[in-house]
Amino acid sequence: MSNVKAVLMAGGFGTRIQPLTASVPKPMLPVVNFPMMEHILKKLKRTGIDEVVILLYFKPDVIKNYFKDGSKWGVKIHYVLPDDDYGTAGAVKFAQEFLDTTFMVVSGDLVTDFDFKKIISEHRKKNSKLSIALTSVENPLEFGIVITDENQKIEKFLEKPSWGEVFSDTINTGIYVIEPEILDFIPLKENFDFAKNLFPLLMEKGIDLYGINMEGYWRDVGNPDSYREVHQDILNERLNFEIPGKVVEYPDGKLYLTGDSQIDNSVEIVGNVVIGNNVKLGKGVKLNNVVIGDNVEIGENGKIRNSVLWHDIKIGKNFILDNGVICENNEIGDNVEAKAGLILARNCKIGDLVKIEQDVTIWPDKKIDPASIVNNNIVFGDRYKSSIFEHGSVVGKSNIEFSCDMATKLAEAFATVLPVGAKIATARDKDKSARMLKRSFLGGLLSSGINVVDLGGVPISVLRHEIYTNPEIVGGVYFKQSSVDPFSTEATFFNEHGLRISTNTAKAVEKAFFKEKFRRVDYYQIGKIYENDYAVEIEKYKNAVKETVDFKIITSENFRIAVDMMHGILGEVFPEILTELEIEHITLNSYYDERKLFNLPHLENISKKDMSNIVKSLGLKAGFMLYPNGEKILIITEEGEVLDKIKGLLVVLNLVDIHAKNLNTKLKVFLPVWAPDIVKFENLEITYGKYTDFKLEDLQKYYLVATVEGSFAFTEFVPYRDTMYATLKILEFLNRYKLSLAEISKNIVKFFYKHCEIPCPQIKKGKIMKKFIQEAKGKKHSLVDGVKIWENDTDWILLIPDQYGEFLHLYMQAKNEEIGNKLHKKYEEKIKNWMEN
């Protein structure tokens, strides 16, 4: 149309339609495989407009790189990029140099079949300076309402009214025809909006604005629901829209092909289906009103209806999807089912057998473990696990993955495995996230009829001791800052003995959590909180320690030690115990410091150096680093050697061995199957077993239960690890038998020991383990936990698939480093070959 230009508004952030706009600006969202704005550009060209100004702001390069100079569409494009967000009219002001004639303003993020020629024609008939295309909608709340007189002159505006303010169903569509002199009323570099500012100003100035009532289809694609709905409207032919592609007729529908694709003869097409270039559809696939982009592969027997798939997607067999949107660069495994409403943002990986409940949104770059049940939106973090528990604990990003809402639901789920009126104990460390989440957790417990003994901020050892010694308490939960990720909170669940809950209990809690089958009790059954005085509980714990350990043996002249509390909550308890036991000590970092705990690896390195120097230079007998919340201890010899985890374990085993010899008895010890066994102990009966789901009666058979991570449980005190008691026990052994840590360390034979993790998809774990078992035939081997193969009397390799992550644990022991490295290389290559073939 001569002497008419167009302005395409393409600067919005697309906030309401996230996460679809995670990688592209909203006008570039694909509608039947082409950017939404491209359809508008083609419509403008058909109207006769061949010069267009595109107003940019958010991700401008994406738009410029796609449309370039516009010659591909037969138009000339000018790009304008304001230096700030100046509102709708303020942005158009920046394009004034190009707008020397009548121009049409159209949003780049709408779909319409309005007759643009009619809008321009009506504008000219009225000799209007500014005309607005109007339409009627059922729900006008999200739009600007307009009233016109009998001559279509606008009398009144109201932006985004409430229902009480609604006076019409006629709305402003955001399509305007404007004469260039109107731009003079718009200030430069000021936030100025068409509806809020310009239109009222023009009416005040006596300039008549006209509305043009349009019939036809108009939709503002403002959120994911409207994005899905506009596709269904197109595919169900509810608007005048030219679906691109070569048409192939099917008995129950039409297939529109816009490229070369591989479609099996058994594929069933129902309704209108659009398929891009390089698409592969397996046998038995059924598509009903679906749009599929380029480079998409769908495995056999997939059933997809009323959905939109973008580009570069790989989907396994037996996929079921209804009313979903799958963005680009996604990989979906076999036998995945997504109920109605899935929004899957870009660059995600969905494992096999995943079930996604209705109306779930998964944000970009997420990984969903196989067999997961996803019933909540996944916004932050990088992973959604098939189980929420790992070894009795729940870990998540504080206030994001592990939110107050999740804490409450988790409490309600935990309560379902307990009887109404049961009593559990809770506590936390000093972290503010742990405090917040524990409070939310308490609310969930109370609503389910559980009574709570709340110990407040105490070490985990104090909580577990209260559970273990108080017969009224049937379980407990401890909240603390994760030692692996300071931005995460960890909640650990305990049974009536202070032991971590079993796998079966964890599964029962997970089942209730995922199905949201929570118990709601009547008013009179709501639980109570018993806020125990934490000072009293700590005193009870200290007295129990003093009654069990032989402190008279520990107390000795010239027996001085150093302890580094590493800014954890143990610093409020352990130095007092040492003082009351009259043990001479130097204490470091006994105060809580949130900043230091946010960089635990750095704190660990500094502490090792400081403790080594202090112990050695001051002639102390020993040093101990107690990690926050009593997770583990590191031992420092009098010569300043910081014992690694393996050497620390062997030193403690030597001490227990000497103690057994002096008692003239054999003491039983339990170690995990991956613990080193090359060093022999004459007076110990060591069982190497599966380190999980312990029962109290099993643990009480052993004098010591230990790991290779620096944690020790002396069952004469409690059946679980307690680093404070373990430290005192080590001191008792050293002083009782006048031993030297340095001498014991020097006498430990050198050997090779290594642990590494090998990435392995969930679906291949079974295959690798089968191959490993076949490898074990004819050799000495064990299947107690994973597969352990002995090459000879000293050298072995152990493979254990991780229960939660997509990787394998590989443990190795050998006589020396050379043999160990060869063993490692040999089996790592085998595993790699098994995985590829």
Q: What is the mean pLDDT of the chain?
A: 90
pLDDT, residue 142, reads 67
Mean pLDDT across the stretch 413-442?
Answer: 95
Higher pLDDT, 682 or 24: 682
pLDDT one-digit tens code per residue, 694-703: 889 999 999 9
pLDDT range class, residue 555, cuts 50, 70, 90: low
The tens digit of pLDDT for each residue in 797-822 reads 999 988 777 788 999 999 999 999 99
Which CATH class for the 752-836 domain?
A: alpha beta
**pLDDT at res. 422:** 96
Q: Is the pLDDT of residue 382 over 60?
A: no
Query: pLDDT at position 141, please?
Result: 62
Sheet holding 667-672, edge to edge: 684-689, 667-672, 704-706, 712-714
The reply to whether domains 398-528 and 549-746 share a CATH topology is yes
SS3 content of the chain, % helix, strand, coil (to 5): 35, 30, 40
The mean pLDDT of 459-485, rounded to a whole number, is 94
pLDDT reported for residue 478: 97
CATH no. for 549-746: 3.40.120.10
Q: Which is it for strands 170-178 and 130-136: parallel, antiparallel or unpaired?
A: antiparallel
Indicate the angle between helix axes 723-736 and 460-469, nearest 10 degrees: 90
CA distance linking residue 427 with residue 457, whole number of Å: 6
Q: Which residues contact 88 (CB under 8 A, 6 or more apart)?
A: 9, 192, 193, 194, 195
User: Contact at 8 Å (CB) between 611 and 620?
Assistant: no
The tokens describing 374, both together, are 């996803």
Looking at residue 165, what is its pLDDT? Answer: 46
Question: Is it the case that residue 588 has pLDDT exceeding 80?
Answer: yes
Query: Are 104 and 120 contacting, i.e. CB atoms less than 8 angstroms apart?
Result: yes
Q: CB-based contacts of 792: which residues, under 8 Å, 6+ apart?
A: none
How many whole angstroms separate alpha carbon 491 and alpha carbon 393?
A: 5
pLDDT tens, residue by residue, 608-623: 999 999 999 999 999 9
Lowest mean pLDDT among 276-290, 414-428, 584-598, 817-831: 584-598
pLDDT higher than threshold 50 for residue 304: yes
Query: For the ranges 65-74, 380-389, 480-489, 812-821, which has the lowest average pLDDT?
Result: 380-389
475 contacts 439 by C-beta, under 8 angstroms: no
Say how far apart CA 560 and CA 484 lie, in whole Å.
32
244 neighbors 274 (Cβ within 8 angstroms)? yes
Give one word for 409, left, alpha or beta, with left for phi > 0 and alpha for psi -120 to 50. Answer: alpha
Query: Span 531-558, mean pLDDT?
Result: 80
CB 482 within 8 A of CB 490: yes
53 bridge partner residues: 7, 78
DSSP state letter for 510 = H
The answer to whether 189 touches 143, Cβ cutoff 8 Å, is no
d(CA 464, CA 720): 8
pLDDT at 385 over 60: no
Residue 389 near residue 371 (C-beta atoms within 8 A): no
pLDDT for the residue 2:
61
How is the chain split into domains, by residue range? 4-220, 243-384, 398-528, 549-746, 752-836
List phi, psi (to 5°) of 687.
-105, 125
Cα radius of gyration rounded to whole Å, the chain: 35
Average pLDDT over residues 521-542: 88
Inform me whether the pLDDT recorded for 381 exceeds 60: no
For residue 157, pLDDT over 70 is answered with: yes
Indicate whether 464 pLDDT > 70.
yes
pLDDT tens readout for residues 251-283: 999 999 988 899 999 999 999 999 999 999 999
Do the beta carbons of residue 622 and residue 727 sit within 8 Å? no
pLDDT at residue 149, as a whole number? 82
Integer Cα distance of 92 and 96 in angstroms: 7
Q: What is the pLDDT of residues 78-135, one digit of tens each?
A: 999 887 778 889 999 999 999 999 999 999 889 999 999 999 999 999 999 999 999 8
With beta carbons less than 8 A apart as the criterion, state whether 130 and 202 touch. yes
- The Cα–Cα gap between 602 and 589 comes to 14
What digits encode the pLDDT tens for the residues 473-502? 999 999 999 988 888 899 999 999 999 999
Residue 87: predicted pLDDT: 86
Give the per-residue pLDDT at 166: 47
Q: Are 312 and 295 in contact (CB under 8 A)?
A: yes
pLDDT, tens digit (0-9, with 9 covering 90-100), for 185-195 = 999 988 898 88
Residue 747 has pLDDT above 90, yes or no: yes
pLDDT over 80 (residue 138): no
> Is 595 exposed, middle or buried (CB count within 10 Å of its CB: 0-12, 13-18, 19+)?
exposed
Per CATH, domain 398-528 is 3.50.50.60: no
Degrees to nearest 5, angle at CA 448 with 443 and 451: 70
Instruction: Return the top range by mean pLDDT from 146-160, 285-299, 768-782.
Output: 285-299
Q: Which CATH superfamily is domain 243-384 in?
A: Hexapeptide repeat proteins (2.160.10.10)
Give percent above pLDDT 90 in the chain: 65
CB-CB contact of 553 with 583 (8 Å): no
Reported CATH class of domain 4-220 = alpha beta
pTM, two decimals, is: 0.61
Please list, in sequence order, all residues whose beta carbon lies within 8 angstroms of the beta carbon of residue 527, skipping any fewer than 6 positions away.
Answer: 421, 445, 446, 447, 448, 449, 450, 451, 452
Element (H, E) at 233: helix 224-235
Q: Is-contact 492 434, C-beta < 8 A? A: no
